[in-house]
Structure 1
Amino acid sequence: MKISEKNIEQIKQLCKELRVKNFSVFGSVLTDNYSSDSDIDFVVDFDENDPIKYTDLYFQLKDKLEQILKRQIDLIEERGIKNSFFRKEIDQSKVVIYG
């Protein structure tokens, strides 16, 4: 994985602060295809059911991740993955960071 240990620790702390239940990385950052132009793909689930609070937590996390990592990120909501093929691909390749 191409994310530094320092950044991983910052991300774990952020997950605690923002009530993240599960947080994983997947995609090109885990492969040799990752480059300086690549974004980083994450999948997240929050310990929150209120839609307004959930949305607020989502955007706080996305913004802070981009600040920490200094690059664009794609943040996929685990609850929103409906395509079974996409879910299987993520589940087979993801690396759990938190949860």
Structure 2
Amino acid sequence: MILEAVLLQVKQGLEEEYEDAFRQASVIISSMKGYISHELQRCLEVNGKYLLLIKWETLEDHTVGFRQSNEYKEWKKLLHHFYDPFPIVEHFEKVRLS
């Protein structure tokens, strides 16, 4: 399992509109091959700051399957104009502790 983690900064005053658009975009992401789950967290200290966490079965499910799909074009159209600056996407895997 891979965890995609993204810190998002939404343009001031567009937070409510962004959250509505994200609800629509959630239908897109949840339909993709390899998708496990996702959540969007709103920062309490900084207005317009969000943390997006998406679990994928494999890295390629996100970087190839989703990012190269027609569904991604719709995702991008719904959400990307809200971000300033444009976010950095990072991927993580669980560390075995025993």
Higher strand share: 2
Higher helix share: 1
- Structure with max Cα Rg: 2
Give the TM-score of the pair, scaled to structure 2: 0.45
